[in-house]
Every structure is written in structure tokens, then in C-alpha cells.
Amino acid sequence: MIDIISILKNTHESLEDDPSIFDSKSRKSRDIQIHTDGYPIITDEFWTSKQRQGSSIQEVSYRACFKPQLPNYFINLFTKPYDIVYDPFSGRGTTAIESALCNRNVIVNDVNPLSIILTIPRIRIPSLKDIEQRLVSIPLYDNRKADIDLSMFYHADTESELVSIRDYLIERKSSSKQDHIDDWIRMVATNKLSGHSKYFFSVYTLPPNQACSQQKQVEFNKKYNQIPTYKNTREIILKKSRELQKDITQDIRDRMFEIGTKALCLNADASKTEEIPDSCVTLIVTSPPFLDVIDYAGDNWLRCWFNDIDIDSVQEKITVTNKLDKWEQFMKSVFIELFRVVKPNGYIAFEVGEVRKGKIKLEESIVPIAIQAGFEVLAVIINKQQFTKTSNIWGVSNNTKGTNTNRIVILRKP
């Protein structure tokens, strides 16, 4: 079996300016234990928020997403340029975008159709000039009203602009005229629908990765004695576009666009991805839906409205259960499919959480499921670092006492 400890150490040494800080004698944070089933559990600071600062193109809000340093670490560890990296639970597309930045080919899948909307435009990136010209060409009509009550979020003029943009995008899609510039505008507008600063379309509300309900927003407005003010949608879209592309050079844009044209993008159950050929994937980096800690559809109802997505159909498809046995049953079917698509000597980095205040460690479920599917378990690694942002409110014991941890099961297909 591969000596995972040596691989991890050597990778550290190849990635840092000062390899000595990762010497086993000086690495005080490293802790190695052997599980009763024989695989190592390695706790260390494998990456940090400062190590290879994430690209600006990754800065899109989505609830319960991991930082780009996580997939970047494994992409560099287990793959080479043009290998295929796959994320079966893609979310906002962190793995896919990091793969494209690293010049790897990508397959993305998520049962939530918003995932493709958020991901592919940040791989097939249009120029700022093209974005501005397209925005100017979109007619913004007066007195347009949404088909649902959004008055608690938007000034009437802002709502009219949003509905105009929404109608334009729906028409472009239905007439098969939608291109990568439209996709970009859709992605940015989707991310600016609501938030807690003046640079969102809405009045002050919850963070952008969690949409407030209409009634809750009415209560919110009363509590803070606020009313929606006008927001210039074109200016906000352009501002966010500039922020996202801050680190994108023309060379990066060209390389990523080529990756994007070849990308396989699926909106499917992760256990039913017939479009993916057998034994083609070198690496999977993913994090599955956890035990009922996140209401994906509820969080994204406003985004679904803007993108003309049936929220009820999304909720029905997304796996949300509070029963560990049902979650495990779903994971069994997923791992059978993952074994099919991963090539021999390919890898999986499967990020799991400590749910219910650490009482359930999902790797204890994933390891036997993976073995039954045919994978070898190389290790469980726990990346441990100082915590900077609040996410313990999601019900994941991820940030207690100022510490942020990621628990990742490392698997290999023989």
C-alpha cells in the first residue's frame, strides 16, 4: 500500500518556500494515530487560508462550501495537467474551478441545477469589455413586476431592472441564443440578489448564501426600520465582475476557457451518471450532503426564482435525511458509481464533517462503504487550523474554540 505519510510530507516540501517547517521533528501540530481497522488518522495543518491564496474567481457565496485550498492540495498531490478531476456533489464548483486553474480537465455534477449556473461561467470567463457591452444591450424596462411579491427586498425600480434581466435571460435560453457572456451575467446576478451590504440588489438582509423568507424579511425590515432603496443592477454586476476577475490574466482566461469547452456538466443523481465513461477519472474531490444540517432548496429559493427553476423539484431531488442508515444507503449507491468512473490507481478525497456536535464522525460510515465498493483506504487526514469565519451555525462541529477542521477520507482504486 502507498505510504501516505511520506507522500503528504513530500508534497508539503515541494509546495513551501521553507521545507524545514514540515520536518517531522519540528512539526509540532502533527498527530498520527492508527485506527483499529489499520489505516492512519493524520492530524496536521496541511494547508492554510494563506497558503496559495485562493483565486479571486472562487469568491462566490454558497452555503457549506469548502475553501479552494482543499481541492488544490489534492489536485497537486494526485494529478498532472490534463487529468480529469470530478466532483459528484459540486455545489458552487470549487473543485471544478480549482481544477481548471491547475490546467486539469473537469467533470461537474450536482442534482441542484444552480451548481452549473454558478460553476461553468467561472471557467468560461468573458472579458470585462464583453460583459459591459452585453449589459448595455439588455433593455431595462420601467414598471416591471415579479410574479411573486419581492417588495420587501427591492426598490420598485431595482425590481423592474431585475425582472428585465431575468426575462432577457429566459428568452435567450429558450431561443438557444444564450452564450458564455449571458451565462456570466446570470451567475453574477444570481450571487447579488440578496445580501448584507450596499453592493447587493436587496435591502440589508441575511448573508448571500442564505435567502431570507419573504415574511422574515418583512420582520427584518421592521426591526431595523429600513426600506429598500434603489440599486443600479448594471453597476453592481460590473463591480462584482471586476472583483471576480482581479486575478485572471488573459493567459489564464484562455487556458480555462479551453478546459470549459471540454467540461462534462451534469445535473444528476450522483449514483446515476451514465454519461461519464468508465475508468476515466484520476481524482475525485468532493463533500457530500450531510445529515439534514442544510436546507439547500430553502436557502436558494430566491436564486431559483431568478433562474426560473422549480424549487419543489429541486427539494425533492436533493438528499436530505436525518437518518444515518438512509444516508449510508445512498452513499453505497454513490460509491458503486464512483468506483466505475475512477481509473485504476485513481484517488478520492472525500471530505466529511463531524455532525451533531461531533457525536457522529461520518468517516466511520464512509470507510466500510468505500471498502465494500472496492476502494483501498489510505488514510483519514484532519486538516486543523485557526478559524476565521463563522460556520458552526450550520450544525457542523467544525469551528469550536477558534479551530477550523476538515476531515477527509483518502481512497485509492487498486
- Nearest Cα neighbor of 303 from 40, 71, 63, 98 is 63
Same domain for 265 and 158: no
- Domain annotation covers residue 305: no
Pairing of strands 342-352, 281-286: parallel
144 in the same domain as 58: no
Has residue 123 been placed in a domain? no
In the block, residue with C-alpha cell 489505516: 39
Sequence-distant (≥ 6) Cβ neighbours of residue 219 within 8 angstroms:
none
Is 122 inside a domain boundary? no
pLDDT tens for the chain, 414 residues long, are 446 656 565 544 544 443 333 344 444 556 778 888 888 888 877 776 554 567 999 888 766 567 888 899 999 989 999 999 999 999 889 999 999 999 999 999 999 899 999 999 999 999 999 999 999 999 999 999 999 999 999 999 999 999 999 999 999 999 999 999 999 999 999 999 999 889 999 999 988 777 889 999 999 999 999 999 999 999 999 999 999 999 999 999 999 999 999 999 999 999 999 999 999 999 999 998 876 656 666 778 999 999 999 887 777 777 667 788 888 999 999 999 999 999 999 999 999 876 655 667 889 899 999 999 999 999 998 887 654 443 333 333 444 443 457 889 999 999
- Rounded CA-CA distance 409/41 in Å is 9
Q: What is the pTM of this model?
A: 0.88
Count: domains in the chain: 2
Residue 249 within a domain: no
Cβ-based neighbours of 361, under 8 Å, separated by 6 or more: 352, 354, 407
pLDDT of residue 246: 96
| 359 and 239 share one domain | no
Identify whether 185 is part of a domain.
yes
What is each CA distance from 400 to 105, 210, 357, 385, in whole angstroms?
36, 22, 9, 11
Kindly state the cell numbers that stand for 123: 471557467
Torsion of CA 151, 156, 160, 166, to 10 degrees: -30
Query: Do residue 166 and residue 275 come from a single domain?
Result: no
Going by C-alpha positions, the residue among 377, 282, 337 that lies closest to residue 89 is 337
CA–CA dist 12, 18 (Å, integer): 10
pLDDT at 31: 79
pLDDT at 25: 42
* CATH code of the domain covering residue 368: 3.40.50.150
Q: β-strand 403-412 against 376-386: which pairing, if any? A: antiparallel
- Are 278 and 379 members of one domain? yes
Q: Report, in angstroms and rounded to the nearest whole number, the Rg of the chain calculated over CA atoms.
A: 22
In a shared domain, residues 200 and 276: no
Residue 108 sits in which domain range?
4-113+254-294+319-412
Give the integer Cα–Cα distance in Å for 276 and 112. Answer: 18
What Å distances lie between residue 118 and 99, 154, 315, CA to CA?
15, 22, 18
pLDDT number for residue 211: 83
User: Is the domain of 272 the same as that of 408?
Assistant: yes
State the pLDDT at residue 275: 98
Query: Is residue 279 domain-resident?
Result: yes
258 & 353 share domain: yes
Tell whether 80 and 229 lie within a shared domain. no
The predicted structure's pLDDT at residue 360: 74
Its sign, for the CA torsion 368, 373, 376, 377, is negative
**∠ CA 298-301-302 to the nearest 5 degrees?**
140
Q: Could you say which of 244, 276, 307 is where a domain stops?
A: 244
Q: Which residue has the cell 434603489?
A: 230
Instruction: Say if residue 266 is in the same domain as residue 221.
Output: no
Residues 273 and 393 in one domain: yes
pLDDT at residue 80, rounded to an integer: 96
Residue 389 forms part of a structural domain: yes
> 196: Cβ–Cβ under 8 A, 6 or more apart, which residues?
204, 205, 206, 207, 208
DSSP string, 157-222: HHHHHHHHHHHHHHHHHHTT---HHHHHHHHHHHHTSSBSSTTSSSSB-S-TTSPPPHHHHHHHHH
171 and 31, same domain (yes or no): no
Does 33 map to a domain? yes
Q: What pLDDT shows up at residue 24?
A: 43
